[in-house]
Structure 1
């Protein structure tokens, strides 16, 4: 799970192009197979089908403009497919959901035309809620409304979305009954896969298609830490 790519600095959400290039090169030279979101969707529909050995999915949250400027050229080098999760209310704007953070810095987000120009055999677009809300603190009616807005906005912008969703902040309802209601709402909206953070390796077959772990890749991590995360998941 990546967010931003910027040559000028690193932080918890930002890697440099050099870090991204080194990390992707490591995957390619150490027996990992980078798959597409459509590959994973096909596997999810029939888990008797096969994925390649040591499959890895590359994702970027929030659709930052720097993904186009700095990530895409590196993805093309190998080439490496990736998925961008889009909060549709903010397309062409900035990361306004972060405004209350003490260290807020406005970062430009991709426009609808830029997003459509990105889609190819390398890049898939998927859902990241409409208003980047935390589903952990949202009741089922609010989740249904957000999913409806998310899909409608994507349709109005003619964005070619795949039926996968990443929870903003990794948040899902805590109580089992409420989480099941969320999953039912997502299925009713046509969503087939839901991604949390989790920082754990997903065993195959996938146990819960709406609770798939991702590994949080931070610019503040050393390359050694990256390699340990890829092998073991959460660092202890």
Structure 2
């Protein structure tokens, strides 16, 4: 799970372009292969194993720097990625975080294809940990409707903003039922552990949080083993 790519800056949400290139080189050197959400969905539905060392490279929020800095590096390595888009903010900025960075417009999102697949990241970038089942269902419905209105290809896969899901069991069950009704194939939390397939819950898939403050040794350990001890 990545957020921002910058020519030089490295922080909790930002990986530098040289770092990102080094990380992709490590994946390539160690025989990891990127897969698509469609490939992953087929594996989940048919309960089939994926090829060894399969990896999804994912980005959250649709920062403009994903187009300017991540895309050319991914293309150079022949790797694919997924971008989870909060549709209310297309062409605007990260208003949930003080508008510090521009987000992509419709035309800019289109330029990512086919290297990037586009997918769902809530309409309003809501933390579902703090929402009612009704608010969550309305937001998911808006997220899908907004994507349809953009006339861009997308996959009905979802990433929870902030990794947040309801703590209340009944609310979480209602959310997952809404996802089923809306034909959302899968949903990703954070978790920082590897996914062992077949999974017991396709709405609780885990991702590894990659930070600009990670060393290469930490990156390699996360990819190999999951959560750092």
TM-score category by the smaller chain?
over 0.9
Answering whether residue 55 of structure 2 is matched by residue 56 of structure 1, we say yes
Q: Deviations over 1:113-164 (max 9, x none)?
A: 11122121x2100000000000010010000110111111111111211010
Q: 1:180 and 2:173 equivalent?
A: yes
Partner residue, 1:126: 119
Within 5 Å, which residues of 2 pair with 1:150-161?
Answer: 150-161=143-154
Q: Which residue of 2 is the match for residue 84 of structure 1?
A: 83
Distance 2:113 2:182 in 1: 22
TM-score, normalised via structure 2 length: 0.97
Q: State the partner residue of 1:218.
A: 211
Q: Which residue is equivalent to 1:111? A: 105
Residue of structure 1 equivalent to 2:34: 34
Query: 1: CA distance between counterparts of 2:87 and 2:152?
Result: 10
What displacement does 1:4 show? 0.2
**Could you tell me how far apart the structure 1 residues matched to 2:117 and 2:38 are?**
8
RMSD: 1.0
In structure 1, the gaps of 5 or more residues are 100-104
Show the 5 A alignment for 1:4-43. 4-43=4-43
Displacement, 1:65? 0.3
1:102 corresponds in structure 2 to none
Pairing of 1:139-178 with structure 2 (within 5 A): 139-178=132-171
User: 3-state DSSP class of the match of 2:155?
Assistant: strand
Shift of 1:93: 0.4
Q: CA deviation at 1:176?
A: 2.1
After TM superposition, what 4+ stretches of structure 1 lie above 6 angstroms from structure 2?
Answer: none
The whole-number CA distance in structure 2 between the counterparts of 1:79 and 1:165 is: 24
**2: CA distance between counterparts of 1:47 and 1:117?**
33
3-state SS of 1:2 partner: coil
Deviates more, 1:37-46 or 1:132-141: 37-46
- Aligned residues, how many? 229
**Contact 2:8–2:17 at 8 Å: present in 1 too?**
no
Task: Report SS of the residue matched to 1:163.
Answer: strand
Deviation of the 1:171 alpha carbon: 0.3
Q: CA deviation at 1:109?
A: 0.4
CA distance in 2, matches of 1:164, 1:152: 14
Stretch of structure 1 that moved more, 33-42 or 192-201: 33-42
